[in-house]
Structure 1
Amino acid sequence: MLKGQDIVVLLALAGRPPVTMRETAARIAFDPAGVTRSLRRLTEAGLYSRERDAVLLPQAEEFLVHGLRYVFPARMAGESRGLATAWAAPPLDGEFGETASLPPVWMHPEGTVRGIALEPLHEIVPAAALADARTWRLLALVDAFRVGDARVRGVARGHLHDELRRG
């Protein structure tokens, strides 16, 4: 069974050249042993190939777009200060104009955005986002699938496709 940290590892590796476990762990502020365990689960799920040492992009994209919100449903809390996610963070932050509602955020003491707290996929998400801008963009897109309406998910899908292949 996949865990939230597995999705963070998947996004950190997707579309990028192979790197060591230690480099991957540093990229997302995680431990190398945790990365190894995540890769084992991702391989079993058919989202990562050990032979190619790469994320299987078509399978990963299909899972992220269509399955992730059912496996990792969004859990919202009250108002909080944190890091912007979903449509409030790049690359979606300019797509929908201003809204009267508060944006979704991951609670974090270094966060500068006041919004509605969204429980991240795993506790390492805010640190991973701060450590790597591309991983932050991908995590925000994944959250758009978890909390967004059909319009948001449709726009996020195009951005996700581009981001995964851009590396």
Structure 2
Amino acid sequence: MNLKPQDIVILLKLCGYEESRPAYSIIAADLGMSPSEVNGALKRLQAAGLIHGPEMGQTPILAATEEFLIHGVKYAFPAKRGHFTRGMPTSYAAEPLNSLIAAGDDPIPVWPDPTGKKRGISLAPLYRSVPEAAKRDPLLYQRLAILDAIRSGGARQRKLAEKELVKNLRKRDGKL
């Protein structure tokens, strides 16, 4: 059973819950997915050894999650850059990395979003509903942006992003 990009979005969302996960329908609504997509993702994440089984609340196995996000995601789901567009800042252009990495003169990476306030080079999000989900959940937004820096950045950006990801994943219950 192979992981899908939306599984990573769900995994990052799960990392924000204090205890066991809420109902599929709640996760699905938060992420702009269907409950069946969430159900399938949880099965794949469990098969991959990234979350505990139902008997343990389907919570993330933090060490495995950190290892996969830092070392595996950039190969399993490489970043895809596109054209100049309007969107939401991501990678080093979004919190928390934008306070650690200067943007320079190059256009910033953005998730395409017609209501976005910034213009830059598009960086395809892991899943189509990511921009809307990120607007509703600031902690998820940070995690996805950090992950984009790992997926798309150079060595220095990746190193900073890896440190921030580990720190960020240890935050619980959506508290920044």
Bin the TM-score by the shorter chain.
over 0.9
- CA distance in 1 between counterparts of 2:29 and 2:128 reads 15
Indicate whether 1:65 and 2:70 are aligned. Answer: yes
- CA distance in 2 between counterparts of 1:98 and 1:3 reads 30
Supply the RMSD in Å over aligned alpha carbons: 1.1
On the 8 A contact 2:107/2:119 being kept in 1, the answer is yes
Match of 1:42 among 32, 42, 45: 45
Runs of 4+ in structure 1 displaced over 4 angstroms? none
How far off its partner does 1:120 sit?
Answer: 1.2
On the 8 A contact 1:28/1:132 being kept in 2, the answer is no
Q: Which amino acid aligns with 2:24?
A: M
- Could you state the TM-score of these two structures normalised by the residue count of structure 1? 0.96
**Structure-1 residue corresponding to 2:109:** 104
Indicate whether 1:147 and 2:147 are aligned. Answer: no
Match of 2:122 among 117, 124, 140: 117
On the 8 A contact 1:80/1:116 being kept in 2, the answer is yes
- Could you state the TM-score of these two structures normalised by the residue count of structure 2? 0.91
Unaligned runs of 5+ in 2: none
On the 8 A contact 1:106/1:117 being kept in 2, the answer is yes
Share of identical aligned residues, percent? 41
How far off its partner does 1:115 sit?
Answer: 0.5
Match of 1:133 among 126, 138, 156: 138
- CA distance in 1 between counterparts of 2:85 and 2:29 reads 27
Alignment of 1:82-97 (within 5 A): 82-97=87-102
Q: Which amino acid aligns with 1:21?
A: Y
On the 8 A contact 2:93/2:103 being kept in 1, the answer is no
Indicate whether 1:81 and 2:86 are aligned. Answer: yes
Match of 1:165 among 166, 170, 173: 170
Unaligned runs of 5+ in 1: none
Deviations 1:92-146 (A, max 9, x none): 0111124000110000111111000011111111121112111111000110011
Indicate whether 1:24 and 2:27 are aligned. Answer: yes
Greater mean alpha carbon deviation, residues 13-22 or residues 87-96: 13-22
How far off its partner does 1:159 sit?
Answer: 1.1
